[in-house]
Structure 1
């Protein structure tokens, strides 16, 4: 059976956005995980920015990974993927011109779609790690990203943080991004269905949520009825892989079993406290 082309996978992703269903993503982080996800009949995969940072750098999600490093990992996945894969492209690795370059590289890697967020990354001196760029700057980045596409079926999804904005501000950004021509709106930090409904009333394009398993949003049919087409519940598969690797190597060395969970092991080996201390020492960044 002939494999779908990258263009066909992008068309498949657009069909998911155009459907009346809600789909949960498979967290994919290398070619093997992409093949496993497809074999298990996941409709869509996601290469998370945080996961790429862990996989490539063994570093926490502090905007340390570069576009070239991220694109290399995306290319490895795109080479074998038989399901559409969405890239969490963070802030596009810079300004509007950098965001345009990001689109070119992710499209060349063979992925089906990407999200671009309006977080102020990397964090600036004296700022909070959750600060956002202005709405106008974000619109400029999105317009540039849309212009940079060679394949018009490559989906570009604008992402914003509903957890640090008022509902009015979220709606304002969603409307502006929608007007810019993006293919969907991604939100992180939506608290519950009441919060989502207030936003969804003002959005007429497909929505994507990053919920990290929030039980207050655990109703797939209701999400679908509100226009949510893609949900990222987290990256449990990657953390399970860390735990499995640790346990296998520990047993080979005859080391006693550890009570540390997968997420605790991740924190141990990425040393986030060290990075936070550096941020406090040299950047005075607030959490």
Structure 2
């Protein structure tokens, strides 16, 4: 699937009538698994990017280059459309332009730019937001950087849990006027808050961190994508820890539990395709 078709697949989700829950992906293997399981969309979160690439918590230490390169690795491995959490765009509005350019050429189907003040300011506890005017400038820069490309741009705000619902609505309405394709909301804690923002806006909505809610209800509120955490990375971390601990404690490799079968490993490494190419191009027997 070409990069443009991946963008078009994401756009079809946004213009559809149902709510999709994406699979959390972070490397070549995880995106292939999500694709094989039939997920319509992958979500590459900033927190799992930091964990997968650096082994660091989500405090904006990862760079744009590292994020884009990891996205490029995933794009090579699978055709699943991926939405990337691009944090604050790695700087001001001019940096946002480059962020869009880099992620688009790395194969991202879409990306979100948020209005959080990042990295955290000196001496300022808690999460802070940039001024609304600066946020509008960032969203305009993101749309401008896209040019005639089909990559999806989402304006993200967590204002509902930081500065209140009224500010969240004001920011959503302002960002909607910049030409972005969707609004990405975090910090929504109730149906009433979601319904108020949905009533004040027109664009498709994306939700992160919302309490468990029925997909039919979310779809009726114009929510087209609802995240469901980054559990796969946590599960993988636990599995690696338990396996290494068992080996360190003296367990024989043949007695280890929970390992991927050779059949599953062959599928996620696309072993059959590799063998077919080796036979055709290297003259090797299959």
Q: TM-score, normalising length from structure 2?
A: 0.85
Q: Distance in 1 between matches of 2:70 and 2:81?
A: 15
Aligned to 2:225: 230
Displacement of 1:82:
1.5
Cα 1:48–1:176, aligned 2, differ >3 Å: closer, same or farther? same
Displacement of 1:166:
1.7
Aligned to 2:110: 113
Aligned to 1:283: none
Cα 1:251–1:177, aligned 2, differ >3 Å: closer, same or farther? same
Task: Report runs of 4+ in structure 1 exceeding 6 Å deviation.
Answer: none
Aligned to 1:260: none
Mapped contact 1:120–1:129 kept (Cα < 8 A): no
Aligned to 1:42: 39
Cα 1:35–1:157, aligned 2, differ >3 Å: closer, same or farther? same
Displacement of 1:48:
0.5
Q: 1:118-164, CA deviations, whole angstroms, 9 ceiling, x for partnerless residues?
A: 00000111223410000100110111111111453110000001211
SS at match of 2:161: coil
Displacement of 1:255:
6.9
Mapped contact 1:79–1:109 kept (Cα < 8 A): no
Cα 1:151–1:26, aligned 2, differ >3 Å: closer, same or farther? farther
Q: Distance in 2 between matches of 1:81 and 1:146?
A: 26
| 1:72-111 map, 5 Å | 72-111=69-108
| 1:192-203 map, 5 Å | 192-203=190-201
SS at match of 2:177: helix
Aligned to 1:239: 234
1:9 to 3, 6, 10: 6
Q: Distance in 1 between matches of 2:47 and 2:4?
A: 26
| 1:1-287 map, 5 Å | 4-161=1-158, 162-211=160-209, 214-215=211-212, 218-254=213-249
* Number of equivalent positions: 250
In structure 1, stretches of 5+ residues that fail to align are 257-287
Q: TM-score, normalising length from structure 1?
A: 0.85
Q: Distance in 1 between matches of 2:143 and 2:78?
A: 24
Q: Distance in 2 between matches of 1:138 and 1:123?
A: 16
Q: Distance in 1 between matches of 2:60 and 2:126?
A: 10
Displacement of 1:165:
2.4
Q: Distance in 2 between matches of 1:172 and 1:90?
A: 20
Structure having the higher Rg: 2
Q: 1:221-249, CA deviations, whole angstroms, 9 ceiling, x for partnerless residues?
A: 00000000011111000100000000111
In structure 2, stretches of 5+ residues that fail to align are 252-286
Displacement of 1:202:
0.6
Q: 1:172-203, CA deviations, whole angstroms, 9 ceiling, x for partnerless residues?
A: 00000000111000111100111110111011
